[in-house]
C-alpha cells in the first residue's frame, strides 16, 4: 500500500511540477528536435541527477520515514539519512535540476522563467508551512537537526 501511495503522490506532485506544467509551457513549440545540439546532450545528465536525487528522497521517505512526499501523507519518522544528512531539502534540489535541464534542453526562456520562480515559491512553502509543521510533529529532534543541517546549501554531514 505504501508503494502505491508513493507512486500516486510522485505522479501528482513532482509529476505536475516537472512534466505537466513544462508541457503546458512548451505546448506551442515544435516538440522534440530531430537532431540534438550539444546543449541538449548536456541537459541529459542534469536531468538524470535531478531524477536520481528525487528518487533517493522518495525512497528515504518510504523506507525510513514510512510515508510519502505529500504533506497530506507525510513520513511518520524524521528522515535524517542519506542526502538529508547534508541538506534539509534535497528533494527540491532534484526537482529544480530537472526543471533547469528541461529549460536547457528545449532552449526555452519561458521554461527557464518558470524554473527560476519555483525556488521562491518552494522557500515560502518550506518556511511558512513545512518547517513549523515538522517542529510541532518532531519537536526537539527536528530542532537539533535544523541547528546542524542547512536548509538549502549542503554542509557537513549530520550524525
Q: In the prediction, which pLDDT does 34 show?
A: 82
The pLDDT-based confidence of 33 (bands split at 50, 70, 90) is confident
pLDDT at 41: 96
The number of domains in the chain is: 1
Q: Is 107 among the domain residues?
A: yes
Q: Is residue 61 part of a domain?
A: yes
In a domain? residue 99: yes
Query: Is residue 74 very low, low, confident or very high in pLDDT (cuts 50, 70, 90)?
Result: very high
- pLDDT computed for residue 157 by the predictor: 95
**Residue 152 — pLDDT band, cuts 50, 70, 90?**
very high
Give domain status of residue 129, yes or no.
yes
**Structural domain includes residue 86:** yes
Q: How many CB atoms are located within 10 Å of the residue 14 CB?
A: 22
pLDDT at 151: 98
Please check whether residue 158 lies inside any domain of the structure: no
Rounded Cα distance between 55 and 57, Å, is: 5
User: Which three three-digit cell numbers place residue 31?
Assistant: 516538440
Instruction: Answer yes or no: is pLDDT of 35 > 90.
Output: no
Please check the confidence at residue 30 and state whether its pLDDT lies above 70.
no
- Look up the pTM and report it: 0.94
Mean pLDDT of 24-48: 89
What is the percentage of the chain residues whose pLDDT exceeds 70?
A: 99
Q: Residue 32 domain-assigned?
A: no
112 part of a folded domain: yes
88-139 pLDDT, tens digit each: 999 999 999 999 999 999 999 999 999 999 999 999 999 999 999 999 999 9
Expressed as residue numbers, the domain containing 63 is: 2-26+38-68+75-148
Amino acid at each position: 500500500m505504501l508503494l502505491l501511495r508513493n507512486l500516486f503522490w510522485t505522479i501528482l506532485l513532482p509529476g505536475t511540477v516537472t512534466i505537466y506544467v513544462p508541457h503546458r509551457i512548451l505546448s506551442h513549440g515544435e516538440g522534440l528536435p530531430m537532431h540534438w545540439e550539444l546543449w541538449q546532450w548536456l541537459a541529459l545528465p542534469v536531468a538524470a541527477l535531478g531524477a536520481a536525487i528525487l528518487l533517493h528522497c522518495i525512497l528515504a521517505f518510504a523506507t525510513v520515514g514510512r510515508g510519502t512526499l505529500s504533506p497530506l501523507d507525510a513520513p511518520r519518522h524524521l528522515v535524517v539519512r542519506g542526502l538529508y544528512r547534508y541538506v534539509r531539502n534535497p528533494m527540491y534540489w532534484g526537482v529544480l535540476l530537472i526543471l533547469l535541464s528541461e529549460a536547457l534542453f528545449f532552449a526555452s526562456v519561458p521554461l527557464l522563467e518558470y524554473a527560476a520562480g519555483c525556488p521562491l515559491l518552494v522557500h515560502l512553502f518550506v518556511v511558512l508551512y513545512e518547517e513549523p509543521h515538522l517542529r510541532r510533529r518532531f519537536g526537539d529532534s527536528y530542532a537539533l537537526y535544523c541547528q546542524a543541517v542547512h536548509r538549502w546549501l549542503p554542509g557537513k554531514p549530520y550524525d
